[in-house]
Amino acid sequence: MDEMIRPLVKTPIPGENAKKLIALDDQYMMTCTKTSPIAVKNGKGIVLEDLDGNLFYDFTSGVGVCNTGHCHPKVVQAVQNQASKLLHFAGTDYYYEPQSRLLEKIAHLGPGTHAKKVFFTNSGTESVEAAIKLSRFSSKRTEFMAFIGAFHGRTMGSLSLTCSKHVHKKGFAPSMPGVHHVPYAYCYRCPYHLTYPECNIHCADVIEEMYFTKLVDPSDIAAFFVEPIQGEGGYVVPPKEFLIKIKKICEKYGILFVSDEIQSGFGRTGKFFAIEHFDIVPDIITMAKGMGSGLPIGCIQFDAKLDYPYEGAHSNTFGGNPVCCSASLATIDILHQEGLIKNAAEVGKFFNEGLKDLQKKHSIIGDVRGIGLMQGIEIVKDPGSKEKAPGLRNKIIDVAINKGLVTIGCGTNSIRFIPPLVIKKQEVAIALEIIDQSIDEAVKH
Ligand SMILES: Cc1ncc(COP(=O)(O)O)c(C=O)c1O
């Protein structure tokens, strides 16, 4: 059995070596989304070592990517083997084995027994762009529905669907026309000031009753883009009935249901795709992040009936790169063979209970929510008023890093916890201790 490593922070963060690297990035890198001053040298499983020899538990999985853990030996082996054979040969134009094998594997993942097809991409946003184009083309409709709080990416099409923070869009107008946003089932802060379950899922009914009569004709809508659990928007888990109602509305009006599983897929929630918790069969699934354990690969999986009728309408150069496909084949095998999806369910439940215990102790934890190893807490000034506390949230993240736990924010005032799915309960218990101490210190501060 692997020896359990504990987080160990010996220097202030950033340490002296990290500082030098950070200065380089600051000078030359475009301003993006840097959040914490952690400069990593290597990673193994859930543990990251920085340039100054500090050891951290990675509760971000490199922002939802390393579901099999950092540098899983079977992924590394698959990448090394393939790299020595063939690095690239335009899979959209020609043929090679890792791509064909992965196509077959992906086509058989997820709910629904109908025939499915696959298109490979290089990122989450490119998967969403591919879904936008396919749904518009196949439906011959122009409009799209998405949710307030959604994050679907940052290129112009996906950015138009994104609606979680206005900083993403400010300065980039005009966005793609034809996108309509409606409120999500964010029960902790119900946009209609109702209470679940007495609300009877008004937030779904109102779409048909109001928005489809006043805002947009549903027969013009190509697709409804849905995150089964909102990610960047704050780790918001909707009631099951909400998504079931949305799916029924889609079926009634011939609207394609797109499940964006870029963050929630690949076992993260204790099922291969989060939408499986809701017993829904989507028409299109978008994937990326966890798909290649760190290598850049994404895809859409879709009902074969939607496929383009001729060559040339959509394609790319790097999609289905042989090295990335090999990493993804290894990733899928590991998730199944090593029981990581089951582990995500079990350890996730343990984690959720631990966070709920912390909520009893710390009144600033307004809400605990998540499924499997996609857990989040919302930080408030006071549980009664639910006033958001983004400054305190940031402080908690900062203190935790200095104790060896790397987490990342989401929404305005939430923290997400998305460790690699190889994590053990004892390691979650250590993380819970760090979260507990970090909240104490941040609140005192
Ligand atoms: C649900 C969801 N969709 C799309 C994206 C965009 O993915 P990428 O950053 O790979 O373009 C993300 C990224 O966080 C995401 O969480």
Average pLDDT, the chain: 97
Residue 252: both structure tokens together: 């009634």
Q: How far apart are CA 339 and CA 292, in angstroms?
A: 17
What's the pLDDT at 115?
98
Q: Which of 160, 235, 289 has the most ligand 1 atoms within 8 A of CB, as the residue to mutate? A: 289
Pocket of ligand 1 contains residue 299 by CB under 6 Å: no
274 has pLDDT over 90? yes
Q: Is the CB of 288 under 6 A from ligand 1?
A: yes
Q: How far is the CA of 50 from the centre of ligand 1 (A)?
A: 26
Instruction: Express as a percent the part of the chain with pLDDT over 90.
Output: 99
Share above pLDDT 70 across residues of the chain, in percent, rounded to a whole number: 100
Residue 48 is assigned to a structural domain of this protein: no
- For residue 139 and ligand 1, the question of a CB distance below 6 A is answered with no
Ligand 1 centroid, distance to 197 Cα (angstroms): 30
Ligand 1 atom closest to the CA of 263, numbered from 1: 16
| 394 part of a folded domain | no
Q: Among 79, 69, 75, which residue's Cα sits nearest to residue 44?
A: 69
Residue 91 lies in a domain: yes
Q: Is residue 419 part of a domain?
A: no
Written as one letter, the residue type at 216 is V
What is the reported pLDDT for 2? Answer: 62
- CA-nearest residue for atom 7, ligand 1, is 124
pLDDT the model gives residue 360 = 98
Query: Binning pLDDT at 50, 70 and 90, where does residue 3 land?
Result: confident
Report which ligand 1 atom has the smallest distance to the Cα of 150.
Answer: 1
Identify the band that residue 151 occupies on the pLDDT scale cut at 50, 70 and 90: very high
Q: Is 108 domain-assigned?
A: yes
> 400 falls in which pLDDT band (50, 70, 90)?
very high
Ligand 1 pocket residue status of 227, Cβ below 6 Å: yes
Asked whether the predicted pLDDT for residue 244 surpasses 80, the reply is yes
The per-residue pLDDT for range 161-199, each reduced to its tens digit, is 999 999 999 999 999 999 999 999 999 999 999 999 999
pLDDT (mean) for 230-252: 98
Sign of CA dihedral 373, 114, 240, 411: positive
Choose one of 132, 262, 416, 418 to mutate for the ligand 1 pocket test, by most ligand atoms within 8 angstroms of C-beta: 262
Instruction: Return all residues near 173 (Cβ < 8 A) that are at least 6 apart.
Output: none
pLDDT tens-place string over residues 412-432:
999 999 999 999 999 999 999
CA of 146 to the centre of ligand 1 (A): 15
Residue 430 lies in a domain: no
Q: Which of 151, 261, 318 to mutate to test the pocket of ligand 1 (most atoms within 8 A of CB)?
A: 151
For ligand 1, the distance from its centroid to the CA atom of residue 123, given in whole angstroms, is 8
pLDDT tens figures, 282-328: 999 999 999 999 999 999 999 999 999 999 999 999 999 999 999 99
Structural domain includes residue 434: no
Task: For ligand 1, say whether the CB of 291 is within 6 Å of any of its atoms.
Answer: no
Distance CA 342, CA 233 (A): 26
- The confidence band for 134, taking pLDDT boundaries of 50, 70 and 90, is very high
Residue type, 101: R
Query: What's the pTM value of the predicted model, to 2 decimals?
Result: 0.98
Residue nearest to atom 3 of ligand 1 (CA): 152
CATH number at residue 281: 3.40.640.10
CA 1 to centroid of ligand 1, rounded, Å: 35
Strand pairing class (143-147; 221-226): parallel
Mean pLDDT of 203-221: 97
In the beta sheet, which residues pair with residue 285? 259, 301
Report the alpha-carbon distance of residue 56 to residue 404 in Å, rounded. 4
CA separation for the pair 179, 162 (Å, rounded): 10
Q: Which ligand 1 atom is the nearest neighbour of the CA of 260?
A: 1
- By the 8 A CB rule, do 82 and 282 touch? no
User: Contact at 8 Å (CB) between 354 and 423?
Assistant: no
The reply to whether ligand 1 has any atom less than 6 angstroms from the CB of 259 is no
Strand partners, 300: 119, 286
Domain of 115, in residue numbers:
76-337
Residue 445, pLDDT score: 87
Instruction: State the sign of the Cα–Cα–Cα–Cα dihedral 283, 289, 291, 292.
Output: positive
Examine residue 369 and state whether it is found in any structural domain, yes or no.
no
Q: Does residue 125 have its Cβ closer than 6 Å to ligand 1?
A: yes
Nearest C-alpha to atom 8 of ligand 1 is from which residue?
124
Q: Which atom of ligand 1 is nearest to the CA of 289?
A: 10
- Compute, in angstroms, the gap from residue 3 CA to the centroid of ligand 1: 34
pLDDT band, very low/low/confident/very high, at 110 (cuts 50, 70, 90): very high
What DSSP line would sit under 385-442, residue for residue? T--B-HHHHHHHHHHHHHTTEE-EEETTTEEEE---TT--HHHHHHHHHHHHHHHHHH
Q: What is the mean pLDDT of residues 381-402?
A: 98
pLDDT tens, position by position, 41-90: 999 999 999 999 999 999 999 999 999 999 999 999 999 999 999 999 99
Any ligand 1 atom below 6 A from CB of 231: yes
Residue having the nearest C-alpha atom to atom 9 of ligand 1? 124
- Give the pairing of strands 298-303 and 284-287: antiparallel
| Ligand 1: residue whose CA is nearest its atom 10 | 124
CB of 135 closer than 6 A to ligand 1?
Answer: no
- Burial status of residue 95 (CB atoms within 10 A of its CB: 0-12, 13-18, 19 or more): exposed
| Residue 321 CB less than 6 A away from ligand 1 | no
The answer to whether residues 236 and 186 touch, using CB atoms and an 8 Å cutoff, is yes
Q: DSSP letters along 337-354, please?
A: HTTHHHHHHHHHHHHHHH
Quote the ligand 1 centre to 25 CA distance (angstroms). 23
User: Is the CB of 262 inside a 6 Å radius of any atom of ligand 1?
Assistant: yes
- Cα separation, 274 vs 282, in Å, equals 11
CB 409 within 8 A of CB 394: yes
Q: How many domains does the chain have?
A: 1
pLDDT at 139 over 60: yes
